[in-house]
Amino acid sequence: MSERRTISRIRPNAMALRALAHPQRLRMLGLLRIEGPATATSLAGRLGLNSGATSYHLRQLARHGFIEEDEGRGNGRDRWWRARHESTTFLEDDSDEDALDAGIAFAQAALNAQIALMQRALERHIELPPEWRKASTISDFNIPLTAGQAEALVEKLHAVLWEAMETAPQLGAAREAGMETVTILLHAFPRAPEEF
């Protein structure tokens, strides 16, 4: 088992969550977290944007504490940016109506990005080597539970996933041959009675 490391997290306020809910900002932060530091020009090329718009979105992400300038790279003309945290936590305290509304708006943007990510994964599934097809899944489980039981189950699943993340190499860092970034999406919710 690898040595455990601490996963850096951010718990943004409502204003920061609203800023992050922009689809391009969400994608930029994801790329900086997964692939490591980048310039506005390289991110613009990856995302099909102009560098002016990309620079604006990067400044907004920095303003709200999601990213920072990577001072050890580049020069005066070539600014590099890096993610400040590996994870964003939200919707943990729903006592504040504004925070709840902002959390829902961010969750909607994140869900849209996750759906697109799953669609692309499914489209390339047939191209994967057999070992990666076997290691991939699209699953759902419907289990009768009380709210307390559901919360306990989600906490157990999170504990397993946090442990896996804590013992894995940091995103964007060197890794052993054959190791890929694996995305695991976890959604848990009470099913509406009218759904079939």
State the pLDDT confidence band at 166, using cuts at 50, 70 and 90: very high
What is the rounded average pLDDT of the residues 117-125? 95
- Token pair for 82: 């890096």
State the pLDDT confidence band at 26, using cuts at 50, 70 and 90: very high
- Compute the distance between CA of residue 131 and CA of residue 185 in angstroms, rounded to an integer: 20
State the pLDDT confidence band at 196, using cuts at 50, 70 and 90: low
What is the rounded average pLDDT for all residues in the chain? 91
Check pLDDT > 80 for residue 95.
Answer: no
What is the rounded average pLDDT of the residues 83-110? 88
Three-state DSSP class for residue 91: coil
State the pLDDT confidence band at 71, using cuts at 50, 70 and 90: confident
Q: Which residues, 6+ apart, have CB-to-CB distance to 48 below 8 Å? A: none
What is the rounded average pLDDT of the residues 26-51? 94
pLDDT at residue 69, rounded to an integer: 92
pLDDT at residue 1, rounded to an integer: 52
Check pLDDT > 70 for residue 22.
Answer: yes
The CA–CA distances, whole Å, from 87 to 8, 14, 144, 184 equal: 6, 16, 30, 13
Domain 9-167: assigned CATH number? 1.10.10.10
> Comparing 25-29, 69-73, 135-139, which segment has the lowest mean pLDDT?
69-73
> Is the CB of residue 44 less than 8 Å from the CB of residue 53?
yes
- Sign, CA torsion 89/94/100/104: positive
pLDDT at residue 2, rounded to an integer: 67
**Residue type present at position 150:** A
Helix 51-63 with 40-47: angle, nearest 10 deg: 110
Helix 23-35 with 40-47: angle, nearest 10 deg: 110
Per-residue pLDDT tens for 171-192?
A: 888 888 999 999 999 999 998 8
What is the rounded average pLDDT of the residues 78-102? 87
- Compute the distance between CA of residue 142 and CA of residue 129 in angstroms, rounded to an integer: 30
pTM of the predicted structure, to 2 decimals: 0.86
From the CB of residue 44, how many other CB atoms can be counted at a distance below 10 Å? 20
Check pLDDT > 80 for residue 76.
Answer: no
Check pLDDT > 80 for residue 48.
Answer: yes
The domain locations on the chain are: 9-167
